[in-house]
Structures are given as C-alpha cells and as structure tokens.
Chains A and B, each alone.
Chain A
Amino acid sequence: MATDKITHDELLRLNALVDGELAPGEHAALAARLVSDREFARAYATLARLKACVVENADAAPTVSITMPAAAKRSWRRPVLQLGAAAAAAGGLMVLFALTNLPPHRQPAPILMSAQAAITLAALPQTPVIPDLEVAGLRLAGATIDMAGQSRVLVATYLGPRGCRLELRVRPEDSVSLPAEGTDRRAWTVGGLAYELVAYGMPAARFAAISEAAERMTRDSRFPNTVDRRLREARVAAPPCLA
C-alpha cells in the first residue's frame, strides 16, 4: 500500500499543515521535507485539494431560505423549542417553565427537562397540557421521554407529601400505548394526543376525583371553579397512598 511510505505521525502533521495548525518551527521543517520528498509533496497536494473541494461544496450549497422567528415573539407556535434552546445552552438540563399549556391564572410548575425531550415534544401533533395538581397536594416533580415502539411518550410524574405518585403519559393518539403497572388508570384523547393518568397506590375515590379534574383541564383551557373544588376535596381527609 502506497500510504505505508508515509507514517501515521507524518500523516497527522500533513493534515495539520493543510489546516494551518502547525507551529512555525514544525511548519518550516515540514516545508523543507515537501521540497525534497516527492511522495510527501503529492500527499500534501492531495490533502489540500480534498480540503479545498469540501469547502467548495459547502460554498456551492443551494441558497437556503430560513424563516427567522422574531426574537420578541416569545410565543412561537412550538414553544417547546424555546425551552430546548435554553436547555442546550445550559449544557443539557434546565428548569422548564413554559412547556405546557396551563390554565391562564395558574403558574406552571417547573419541570426538569432535557433538550432531547424538548425536541421530541415539538414533534407531537399538539402541545401537551400538563395539569397543575398542586391544589390536590400533588407536585409536578419532573418529565421524561420513554419509548413505546417507534413512538416517544412524555411521562410527567406528580408526587404527594405522603407517598402518593401519579404518572401522566401523553403520546400521539395513533401510537402504541406504553404498558404501565399502576394500581389505577384513566385514559382519554384530546386533539390528536392520547392521555393516560396512572396511579400508584392512591385510594380509588381520590384518584377518580383527581383524574376527572385532570381530564377536564386538558380539554378546557379555562379552569372552572368546580374543578378546583374537586381537587381540594380530593385532598382533604384522604388516607395516605399505599405505594
């Protein structure tokens, strides 16, 4: 093989020379070698030509037309991407404040979210609504992306002060459901998204009230007082969760 004539170290230096990465002393030594060694000079010329062609290809790429969203228009049609950007800039994880559509007078709970998850969510047919269940004593603790076949499922986890745990799973309506091992569940669909709320050891009566309220919140951007009242009632006098 003809490349055997050039050692690995020499090849590294030749590439560095092509890229303008050699220190002046090394550059001078290599330049002298180029003059005296024809094989070396051919290798350098080949690498230089290759780099020039790659650059030429990049410069000759078809004109691109990018629709630049206005910086001031914060409520872009896919707000999740805004969060993905911040996540990427922060190095992977961030506190996400605007992932979901919450009832107008509610402050969204922070969710720890990766940039990958944010990008995945952007592909969903509609922005998921993650209900605020604070009134029922359930804190939104986090959100992750799980795989279900070829689809990805958003899994939001709610935690209560006495061992209660709920998982809200949101996926495209036409995708495969992710098996869950909860003690109780409620499923519904809204706008192309399939929602499933899964309980782990929560008393059935309390879960029924909470899941009904959660479904209503995903269906209606308004936040009726009756829902608020049901959540509060579900919290009062409820026994601890079993899981």
Chain B
Amino acid sequence: MPRDCHGDLTALLPRLVAFARTIVGDLDLARDLVQEAAARALAAHRVPDDAPAYRAWMFRIVRNAALDELRARHPRRMEIPTPQVDLWRYDDACIAKITVEQGLAALAPGHREIIALIDIAGFSYAEAAEMLGVPIGTIMSRIARARTALLATIEASSVRPLKSSHGH
C-alpha cells in the first residue's frame, strides 16, 4: 500500500473529529474513535484511489465506529419536544453557537447522525443516501426532521446567549 494513498487523511482529521463528536457527543471519545479509524485506514489493504471516494470511506469508518460506540451504551431516551411556538422566529441571537451545540447534544442519535453527515461532513444527499443505503427522498425527510427537532430542542432549552451590549 503506497503511503501517499493517505495524503488527504491529515487534512480530514478535524472534520472527522467534529463528525464523530456530533454523533457520540463527547470530544475525547471522538478523538479516540478517529485515532482508531486512522490506524485502521492506514493498515487497510485496499484504499480508495480518488479523493472523494477516500473521503467517503474515511467518514464511513468513523461513522461505523461511532455507531458501534452508541450501540454499546445504554440508549439515552429523550422526547423531542413538540413545537408549540413559532420555530421560525429565531434571530441570530437565539440560534447561536452555544444553543446549537447544546441542542445537538440533546438530539436523538439518528437526528445527530444525519446532521453530521450533511452539515459537518458535507456530503450531498446522494452521497449520504449511498452511505446509509436509503433513497435520496429519505435523506431529505431525515434532514428536515432533524433540523426541526433541533430547532424545537433549542426552543425548549433555557439557554440563551447574552445579547451584545453594542449600541447601549
């Protein structure tokens, strides 16, 4: 196996860690998973030739490891709050880094996974569909449900970022 097959791996690491972190909800664990995934990739006898395929292959390895980790845990059940308010009223102050981070951590694993695939890994719907083995329409439904759930979770949370004092 030529060493340069893995030339893209270093550049992928930050996104792989962010991807794993979104799925498992723990940075240290995400680091461990990516560490192991990198070792497994480097030891693999067959590695995809082109960059997009290599990228998808790496994310698939990390995803499988993250899902294995989730399965090994006792599943944390959390009801997604039914939105009783206007979900679309949010401005920049409400949908902020901290609220989104906490909202993601509270989401069901399936919702976190699809958001990680589309928004963090940056896969197209077609690529995500291929990875999950489902039709593209299913990906459309899943990402829409996941984002709606995330908005509802943020709304249900009491966390609000402090408003800027500029102009006062």
Does chain A have a CB within 8 A of B131?
no
- Contact (A16, B125) CB under 8 Å given A51-B119, A67-B35: yes
Encode contact with A along B68-92: 1 for CB under 8 Å, 0 otherwise.
1000000000000001111111101
Does chain B have a CB within 8 A of A88?
yes
CA distance A57 to B27 in the complex (A): 12
Encode contact with B along A65-93: 1 for CB under 8 Å, 0 otherwise.
11111111010101001111110111000
Specify which chain A residues have a CB less than 8 angstroms from the CB of B9 in the assembled complex. 68
CA distance A60 to B96 in the complex (A): 13
Specify which chain A residues have a CB less than 8 angstroms from the CB of B43 in the assembled complex. 69, 71, 74, 76, 81-83, 85-86
Closest to B90 in A: A46
CA distance A131 to B36 in the complex (A): 27
By Cβ-Cβ distance, the 4 closest A-B pairs, closest first, are A85-B40, A82-B43, A2-B86, A58-B18
Whether A19 lies near B118 (C-beta < 8 A) is yes
Whether B36 lies near A119 (C-beta < 8 A) is yes
Whether A50 lies near B18 (C-beta < 8 A) is no
Whether A46 lies near B101 (C-beta < 8 A) is no
Can you pick out 23 interface pairs between chain A and chain B where the beta carbons lie within 8 Å of each other? A15-B144, A15-B147, A19-B143, A21-B124, A21-B125, A42-B88, A50-B95, A54-B120, A55-B119, A57-B100, A58-B18, A58-B22, A61-B18, A64-B17, A64-B31, A66-B13, A69-B43, A76-B39, A82-B44, A86-B43, A89-B47, A116-B68, A119-B36
Does chain B have a CB within 8 A of A29?
no
Whether A85 lies near B97 (C-beta < 8 A) is no
- Contact (A66, B38) CB under 8 Å given A1-B84, A60-B97, A71-B3: yes
CA distance A58 to B151 in the complex (A): 18
Whether B147 lies near A47 (C-beta < 8 A) is yes
Whether B39 lies near A15 (C-beta < 8 A) is no
CA distance A71 to B47 in the complex (A): 12
Specify which chain B residues have a CB less than 8 angstroms from the CB of A83 in the assembled complex. 43
Whether B83 lies near A3 (C-beta < 8 A) is yes
Closest to B36 in A: A81
Which residues of A are at the interface with B, using a C-beta cutoff of 8 A?
1-3, 6, 8, 11-12, 14-16, 19, 21, 39, 42-43, 45-47, 49-51, 53-72, 74, 76, 78, 81-86, 88-90, 115-116, 119, 122
Encode contact with A along B117-151: 1 for CB under 8 Å, 0 otherwise.
01110001100000000000000110110011011
CB distance from A5 to the nearest CB of B (A): 9
CB distance from A208 to the nearest CB of B (A): 38
Does chain A have a CB within 8 A of B24?
no
Closest to B140 in A: A12
Closest to B18 in A: A58
Whether B39 lies near A81 (C-beta < 8 A) is yes
Does chain A have a CB within 8 A of B6?
yes
Closest to A82 in B: B43
CB distance from A85 to the nearest CB of B (A): 3
- Contact (A88, B61) CB under 8 Å given A19-B143, A42-B88, A50-B100: yes
Closest to B33 in A: A119
Whether A61 lies near B27 (C-beta < 8 A) is yes
Closest to A73 in B: B42
Specify which chain B residues have a CB less than 8 angstroms from the CB of A21 in the assembled complex. 124-125, 140
Specify which chain B residues have a CB less than 8 angstroms from the CB of A81 in the assembled complex. 36, 39-40, 43
Closest to A14 in B: B144
Does chain A have a CB within 8 A of B168?
no
Specify which chain B residues have a CB less than 8 angstroms from the CB of A85 in the assembled complex. 37, 39-44, 61
